[in-house]
């Protein structure tokens, strides 16, 4: 069973496995790719709406990895769908792959190489240079913007 991200439709991903997606993916597609979504749905692709509790769990995992600011609501709900159904997530999105790794989900990449390692990002203040484990709007010390930083 595979949960298809927007990139699966853009890259014309083919599989013989059971496929699932969410309605929000169709909203991200345009022109030909939207027709691919409709065709796959007509051929038996199921649509799934994950439970709010699962979406919240994925949000917490994304916060823990430092990817919360990088993944969209659609991404979060795709991850939640894969988690609920114990399915493989099909995506090229690195932030989604990182959160999937945190959640113990299998990932199938399409057009790019997958992530080489799981990362838990830190955030550094552009003004005073202090580092924080969680992302904030601004530095609580000096008020400057924070930037995501690889902790390695």
92-132 tens-digit pLDDT? 888 999 999 999 999 998 876 545 555 667 778 888 888 87
Quick one: which of 97, 100, 64 has its CA closest to 80? 100
Residues 99 and 125 in one domain: no
Task: Tell me what pLDDT residue 60 has.
Answer: 94
pLDDT above 70: residue 75: yes
Domain of 72? 2-108
**The pLDDT value given to residue 52:** 97
For residue 50, tell me if it sits in a domain: yes
pTM of the model: 0.74
Average pLDDT of span 17-35: 88
The CATH number given to whatever domain includes residue 52 is: 3.40.50.1010
Co-location of 96 and 132 in the same domain: no
- The per-residue DSSP string of 116-146 comes to SS----EEEETTT--EESS--SS-TTT---E
Residue 81 has pLDDT above 90, yes or no: yes
Q: Please give the average per-residue pLDDT across 44-53, as a whole number.
A: 96
Structural domain total, the chain: 2
Dihedrals φ, ψ of 125, to 5°? -75, 130
Among 26-40, 110-124, 127-141, the range of highest mean pLDDT: 26-40
Domain shared by 90 and 152, yes or no? no
Q: Assess whether 14 and 47 both reside in one domain.
A: yes
Averaged pLDDT of the chain? 87
Residues 104, 57 share a domain: yes
Same-domain status, 48 and 10: yes
Confidence at 2, pLDDT banded by 50, 70, 90? very high
Q: Is residue 26 part of a domain?
A: yes
The Cα 85–Cα 9 span in angstroms is 20
Q: Are 68 and 104 in the same domain?
A: yes
Whether the CB-CB separation of 68 and 135 falls below 8 Å is answered with yes
CATH code for the domain in which residue 152 is found: 2.20.28
């Amino acid at each position: 069973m595979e949960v298809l991200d927007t990139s699966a439709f853009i890259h014309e991903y083919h599989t013989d496995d059971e496929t699932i997606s969410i309605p929000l993916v169709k909203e991200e597609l345009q022109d030909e790719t939207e027709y691919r979504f409709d065709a796959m749905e007509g051929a038996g692709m199921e649509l799934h709406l994950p439970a709010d509790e699962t979406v919240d769990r994925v949000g917490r995992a994304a916060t823990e990895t430092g990817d919360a600011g990088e993944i969209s609501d659609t991404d979060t709900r795709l991850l939640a769908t894969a988690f609920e159904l114990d399915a493989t997530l099909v995506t090229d999105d690195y932030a989604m792959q990182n959160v999937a790794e945190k959640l113990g989900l299998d990932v199938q990449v399409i057009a790019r190489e997958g992530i080489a390692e799981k990362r838990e990002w830190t955030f550094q203040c552009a003004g005073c240079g202090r580092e924080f484990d969680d992302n904030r709007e601004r530095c609580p010390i000096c008020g400057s913007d924070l930037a995501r930083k690889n902790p390695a």
